[in-house]
Amino acid sequence: KYIKEVWLAIKSLFVGMRRTGYYFTHHKEIITQEYPDNKDSLILPKRFKGEVVMPHNENNEHRCTGCQACEIACPNGSLKVVTEFNLLENGRKKKAIDKLVYHLELCTMCNLCVEACPSDAIIMDQTFEHSVFDRMN
């Protein structure tokens, strides 16, 4: 039994070394690309989950109604919807969003807020790079 285990270990070692040797001799065929050298050719999958954004149209309007469903659905409180009440012409008050506060450092990119939004006002963007070379940005 001991000899068999040693033989299987040696066989496993040679299988791994054969794969490593292949990568050394066929380095032009390797598909791994070093980042950020591939920024121009980088294509992210359609289902990639980056940061949460609220898209606006050309008139700077958004679809958010201020219902706070995204805030309730967020498991760790990374979204905060700040609302206000606007007075309409007929004297009634209407709830409107003042701002959407998004804490990227708390977000786990789980997409629960996007799924909970009844008006499809927020989406997961394909932005993922937040590192900078200076502290001013």
What confidence tens digit (pLDDT) does each residue in 38-59 have? 777 778 888 889 999 999 999 9
Per-residue b/e over 70-97, b at no fewer than 16 CB within 10 Å?
Answer: bbebbeeebbebeeeeeeeeeeeeeeeb
Model-level pTM greater than 0.85?
no
Q: What is the mean predicted confidence (pLDDT) over 83-97?
A: 89
N- to C-terminal Cα separation, the chain: 63
Q: What is the mean predicted confidence (pLDDT) over 49-73?
A: 93
Residue 137 has pLDDT above 60, yes or no: no
Q: Is 30 helix (H, G, I), strand (E, B) or coil?
A: coil
Q: What is the pLDDT of residue 33?
A: 67
